[in-house]
Structure 1
Amino acid sequence: MSPVKERPRRVQLAVPGSNERMMAKAAASAADHVFLDLEDAVAPNAKDKARKMVVTALHDLDWAGKVRCVRVNDLASPYFLRDVIDLVSQAGNEIDTLMVPKIMKAADIRFVDRLLGMLEASAGLKRRIGIEILIEEVSGLLNVDDICASSDRLEAAVLGVGDYSASQRIDRRAINGHPDYAGDLWHYARFKLVVACRANGLQAIDGPFVDLKNHDGYRRQAREAALMGFDGKWALHPDQIGIALEEFSPAKEEVAFAREVTAAFHEQEHLGVGAFSHNGLMVDVGLVRLLHNTLLKAELFGL
């Protein structure tokens, strides 16, 4: 069973696994990725019930066109093992990926990989369940290169700024920017995560924007992430879905331009020309390689 890497992840909609109504609305939404949350969104005394609700939702709701993901509890919690065992044994065929929070070192992923392999074999699954990870501890960011290279099950890494802020002891008022801090507080962490993902063939996802009524702020952060090379962003509210879909999808004009210039390059290449001017633009193999990313997105999103 070969790993699957590229999936539409322009927006990852977070949904409490303890809320049937919200899970139903998520299944009917325009989000191309939904993760049913068993971790932060569920109180400790509701974990067992929520786990059963998530299994039922995976079986009963129509998730067509969406990446089906469940965020389990972290490895150090008393809930992680039961999360994974129950999900794989009871709904393994309905799950595309598991999202594992608070990853700190490569050994964490190797353990999850081995556990999933044993559970998949026991359940007789014919497809592998992928892994998505949350980098939200300082040790996780420090080790992110080794983490992203640790398993071919890995598909995506997410920067979780909330817990990460606590881990680094960042001032709460600075999480979404602060006039007393010059520059972008998150530039280093975001850049480091994207590089680690790209070096290992993973998708990079920008984390949440918690000011739910500030749509302009969410759009600005999503646009920054897209410019930096991220593939998508979390949405904590349905109002953020459309914004993320727009910001992480190439514009029609960009897709048309990429196809036009790529076709012209191949024509010139056939004639033995390596670099040329096209409508005043210098075209060479480097530019075509860059435009190839736009064409890959267009194919992935059906544009």
Structure 2
Amino acid sequence: MLDLTRPARLNRSQLSVPGSQRRFLDKAATSAADIVMLDLEDSVAPPDKPAARETVIAALNELDWGERTVSVRINALDTPFMYRDLIEVAERGGDRLDLIMVPKINKPADVHLLDVLLSQIEAATGRRRLGLELQIETAEGLNNVEAIAAASPRVESLHFGPGDFAASIGARTTSIGGPVPDYAILADADAAGVRHRFLGDPWHYVLARIVVACRAAGVRPVDGPYADFKDAEGLEVAARRSAAMGFDGKWAIHPSQIDALNAAFSPSEAEIDKARRILAALEEASTAGRGAVVLDGKMIDIASIRQAQGLVEKARRIGLA
């Protein structure tokens, strides 16, 4: 009987690598990214997709991927490349392949199709079970996000695709993951008559829905790319926003982004120390037979205790505790 328990994976940084470029795949195998995603979709031109598929399969079998998780993004279900991508990669990708990422998931039926096909491939070949990573990047996908997250025990994570989502809803921006200058408000005039302009976050609603759907279904929420890889400050702010909202991690489209993402989605020493003190206070209260947990003169509720337990466990998996 299949073990349907979802693996506990680190997903702070997910490096997207063009599947048509073997030299990039070679470098990715030694990167500091938690997950490396070999891409057969947007980064590969249509005439090059069959050759890229073979390049990816060869890299999966030939490279030493170490302890990092390895994923392949296939083409979307509405393309003529999807079925061959899925079958060839799943059947010939070797035992080192962990995940299949699928773009433009619109409804639970999309997930059911993928689940059935992968189950048949696994039964026929005896390969180990593959997980699914699903991209939410259309209006229809967001409208069905809760059902998509819960559609199969094979689903491990949902990923926001800001570029295609913006196109799907007709947003007037070409920015991918960055600020949208026209999405702003003017404050009332101050004493000097100046009206200050404040940027808004046009993706807050989308991100909030994705993270809630993921946490309700027990899957990882992952934010999409920040396209301007030369803007280190902008990347850090975007990553820390996502981390504050509850996301596990974010995409890197360039190796230079990995360290910043790993830092943004890792607990700080101060956070780890406080979490340990909360758990120590809980242990002390339990030993003393007290129902109330007090730290620094303040009551600690059960929600804080659960957060502390989760943070310490994450620090342990990262190697910080």
TM-score normalized by structure 1?
A: 0.96
Partner of residue 277, structure 1: 294
Q: 1:203 aligns with which of 206, 215, 220?
A: 220
Q: 1: distance between equivalents of 2:162 and 2:235?
A: 14
Is the CA contact 2:281–2:293 (under 8 Å) kept in the aligned structure 1?
no
Partner of residue 69, structure 1: 71
Is the CA contact 2:29–2:65 (under 8 Å) kept in the aligned structure 1?
yes
CA deviations 1:197-248 (Å, max 9, x no partner) are 0000000000011111111001000000000000000000111000000000
Higher relative contact order (CA 8 A, sep 6+): 1
Is the CA contact 1:24–1:61 (under 8 Å) kept in the aligned structure 2?
yes
Partner of residue 230, structure 1: 247
Partner of residue 251, structure 1: 268
CA deviations 1:150-192 (Å, max 9, x no partner) are 0000000000000000000111156522343232111000000
Is the CA contact 2:14–2:37 (under 8 Å) kept in the aligned structure 1?
yes
- Counterpart of 1:106, as a letter, is P
| 1:139 to partner: Cα distance | 0.2
Are residue 287 (structure 1) and residue 289 (structure 2) matched? no
Is the CA contact 2:163–2:174 (under 8 Å) kept in the aligned structure 1?
no
Structure 2 gap segments, 5+ residues each = 185-199
Is the CA contact 1:92–1:120 (under 8 Å) kept in the aligned structure 2?
no
Q: 2: distance between equivalents of 1:41 and 1:174?
A: 17
CA deviations 1:243-273 (Å, max 9, x no partner) are 0000001112211221221021122023232
Q: 1: distance between equivalents of 2:301 and 2:165?
A: 41
5 Å-filtered alignment, 1:4-43, equals: 4-43=6-45
Partner of residue 202, structure 2: 185
- Counterpart of 2:291, as a letter, is G
Partner of residue 264, structure 1: 281
Partner of residue 164, structure 1: 165
Is the CA contact 1:276–1:284 (under 8 Å) kept in the aligned structure 2?
yes
Is the CA contact 1:156–1:205 (under 8 Å) kept in the aligned structure 2?
yes
Larger-gyration structure (1/2): 2
- Counterpart of 1:109, as a letter, is V
Q: 1: distance between equivalents of 2:141 and 2:7?
A: 21
Is the CA contact 1:274–1:284 (under 8 Å) kept in the aligned structure 2?
no
Q: 1: distance between equivalents of 2:302 and 2:209?
A: 26
| 1:62 to partner: Cα distance | 1.1
Structure 1 gap segments, 5+ residues each = none
| 1:65 to partner: Cα distance | 1.7
| 1:29 to partner: Cα distance | 0.8
| 1:92 to partner: Cα distance | 4.0
| 1:293 to partner: Cα distance | 2.0
CA deviations 1:108-159 (Å, max 9, x no partner) are 001100000001111111x210000000000000000000010000000000
Q: 1: distance between equivalents of 2:144 and 2:116?
A: 20
| 1:93 to partner: Cα distance | 1.4
| 1:88 to partner: Cα distance | 1.3
CA deviations 1:39-75 (Å, max 9, x no partner) are 0111111111100100110111111121100000001
- Counterpart of 1:91, as a letter, is G
RMSD, aligned α-carbons? 1.3
Partner of residue 96, structure 1: 98
Partner of residue 146, structure 2: 145
Partner of residue 218, structure 1: 235
| 1:295 to partner: Cα distance | 1.5
- Counterpart of 1:258, as a letter, is A
TM-score normalized by structure 2?
A: 0.91
